[in-house]
Every structure is written in C-alpha cells, then in structure tokens.
Amino acid sequence: MNHIKTIIIAVLAVLPSALLVSSCTIPHSYRTEILFRESPADSVPYRIPAIAQFPDGRIIALTDYRICRSDIGFGRVDLRYRISSTDGRRWGDEHILIEGTGIEGAVDCGFGDPAVVIDRESGDVLVIAVCGNTIYWHDSTTRQNPNRVALLRSKDACMTWEPWKEITEDVYSLFDGSLHGPIQSCFVTSGKIFQSRSIKAGSHYRIYAALCARPNGNRVLYSDDFGENWNVLGGRDALPVMNGDEAKCEELPDGSVVLSSRIRGGRLFNIYRYSDVATGEGSWGESAYSSYENVGCHSEDNACNGGILMIPAIRTEDRQQVTLALQSVPLGPRRQAVGIYYKEIDGKIAPESLAADWNSPYRVTEKASAYSEMILLQNGNVAFCYEENDTMETAGYDIVYKELPVIEITGSRYDVIRK
C-alpha cells in the first residue's frame, strides 16, 4: 500500500498544475482567443474593443477596422464584429457591420469607436459610433462642423441591421441652451453602453452613454426607450467630470450612477444620486482623482480607456455578500500591462472614497496593451476584451478575448454568487 501511495504522489507531482486546481481556481489561460488579429500582410489595423452578451448567452465583440490606418475622422474606417454562440468557447466568422465610404467630408466617410448594449428583455442590439470626417480634438471641429454620431440597430440578433441613423443633432441640441455654452465636439465613449439593472421608467430598462466632450469634460446621456430619445443626466448644465476624457458608466446597488473617466495617471470618479428616479432628477457629487497617491487605480505614464464593472460577490473569508467594483487600466509604464483593480464597496459610498484604497491589480498581460472592456457573463465569470500587441510601436493591436473567474482576479478573496 505504501508503495502505491508513493507512486501516486510522484505522478501528481509531475502533472500540469492546471489539472490540479479546482473549478474555483481556473488558470489564467482559461478561454483565451484572438478575435481580430493584426495582419502585417495588408497592414490595416484593428482598434477599439466593444463587447456585450445576449439574454440567451451568446456574445458579440466589435472593433474598428481602420482602412485609413488612423483614428476615426482621418478617413475610411469600418466596423466589424464576431459572435460566439457558445458562451465564448467558440466564435463565428468576422462580419462587416458597416463600411465607410472614405469620401472626404462625407457623413459616412468612416464609422469608428463602437459602444454597444443589448437589451436584457428583447435582445435588441444598439450600437453608437463616431461617423464622418471630423476629428474630435481639432479646432475646426465645432458646433457648426461637429464630430458626428451614428446609431445602428439590430432586432434579430445581428442577422440583419437596420439602415444606420445619424443622431448628431439629437445629441448636440441637448446642450445648446446650457449656461456653459454649446458643446463644440463630443462622442459616446467606445466599449459598452450601460443598462440599468433596476430602473425601468419607460419601455425599456434605462441605458446610460458617457460622452467625451469639449469644452468642460464629460456629460452623461440616458434613454428610457432604448435610444429613440435621449436626456442629460443632471440636466444640460451639469459638469460631472470637468477634466475627464473617455468615460464609462456603472450602477451602485441603489441605482445611483458611477462615472469613471480617463485621465493621465489613473481615473476620475463621480456619482449621481437620484432625487426622482422616474424623472431622472438628481445631482452629481464632486469628482475625485484615483491614482498612486491615494492607493487608487494607478496607470503609470499613460491615459487610456478602460472598463468599470460592479459585481454581486461573496467575500470568501466570511461568506458575506458584497458589491465588488472592478476597474481596468494599462498599468504601465506607458500603454502596456493591462490589469484589473478591484475593491469592495457599499451603496452609500462617496466619490472620494470610491477613488481611494483599491486592491493591488490583477495583471491580464505583460505585453503592450491599451483599451479594454469587460462584462459579467451569465456563468459568473468576467469576459475581458482588450487590445494587445508585442510592441507599442504600432497603429493597431490584436483584439483579445479572455474569460476570467472573479476568484482569480481577486486572488481568492472574492467569488461570485452561485445560483
């Protein structure tokens, strides 16, 4: 018997560690796929990941295909997508969502920076993108010559898409009477449009789209009819993050809205508290900087788009149910080593407290890496979609998909609530 036991121990010692871990400690390589691979052959770069999940568990991932070899506004850019019908285990072919014409000055010259949401009840898909041939930060892009906004819909799980619709005036006109003057240039930040888990004041659960806008920084739009009509969260005079750049929205357990915005060195956070959920009335707090100084979401020597996600979780130490916040950024230096910070929060948290005291980040990659987005899958894992390459000297990236267990991201400190 002792001889047999010795043999078993010896065999276990040489087995790959991945075979010895439990289902709660799935290794880092679990479900990894390059969805859109940069090809030196044609040198057309991919950029900008976006991701969402259908009610039936399928996943869609979208990206720019930059035929002009540069950012949206510089020429022709197309949008492409792939769908997984198996919870991310296998992915279908690459499809064209919409093609730019490349015609100088045309409204349909290019389409880029997709932001996506899928309605949790109907499964309808809504994508908002930048369109046209103007450049966000150029002085020549003004209220009279604006950065344009395109809306695309599918009501049959992306089998077909309705003709795209320009909603530029629908967006800009919301701010024309502002005390701060009109917005000169804006776009909905790429990646994910957030849909409320609890607020339904119209035909659909409320959706939120964060604007990168100049002057005066971020604003937030919301819609109660899945993008047919839009309103401004806090009113047209609200300035939730004055120095913010690209931003994302999330939701606290009580329905309050979190805004997380890109800034060099970390993030800027603010929170909107409702006084009347049905009418959207409420107010923003004071934005707070999250960085190295306050043990926040530090991103060394870079400013970059990232994802924010709130998860109902269990603290493994005592099995208490908590809300867990995740925030992704390139850890740096510069745009490399994308990682995920995490933090336990409560529903009454203030922006200043939200910005501080995050746990040491989980490193998704050590390679050159930039924009990222994440969603919580129905199986309880995090679907993480991000840009990665072997070098920072490039116009594009591979768009990579990883499925990550919460217990791995948090070093076994937290797990998801299993149904």
How far apart (Å, rounded) are the C-alpha atoms in residues 282 and 9?
Answer: 63
Question: For 336-378, what is each residue's pLDDT tens digit?
Answer: 999 999 999 988 899 999 999 999 999 999 999 999 999 999 9
Model confidence band, residue 11 (pLDDT cutoffs 50, 70, 90): very low
Is the model more confident about 176 or about 20? 176
| Nearest CA-CA partner of 332 in 370, 289, 382, 278 | 370
* Strand extents, DSSP E, 291-416: 308-315, 320-330, 338-345, 359-363, 368-376, 382-389, 398-404, 414-416
Chain mean pLDDT for the chain: 92
pLDDT at 15: 36
Alpha carbon separation from 191 to 128, 235, 247 (Å, rounded): 10, 24, 10
First-to-final CA distance of the chain: 42
Alpha carbon separation from 323 to 200, 242, 252 (Å, rounded): 21, 28, 8
How far apart (Å, rounded) are the C-alpha atoms in residues 108 and 101?
Answer: 6
Question: For 298-308, what is each residue's pLDDT tens digit?
Answer: 999 999 999 99
How far apart (Å, rounded) are the C-alpha atoms in residues 83 and 79?
Answer: 14
Going by C-beta distance under 8 Å and a sequence separation of 6 or more, which residues neighbour residue 136? Answer: 73, 130, 147, 185, 186, 187, 212, 214
Percent pLDDT > 90 in the chain is 87
How far apart (Å, rounded) are the C-alpha atoms in residues 222 and 174?
Answer: 12
Report yes or no: 172 and 146 within 8 Å, Cβ to Cβ.
yes
Instruction: DSSP for 236-264, please give it.
Output: TT--SBTT--SEEEEE-TTS-EEEEEEET
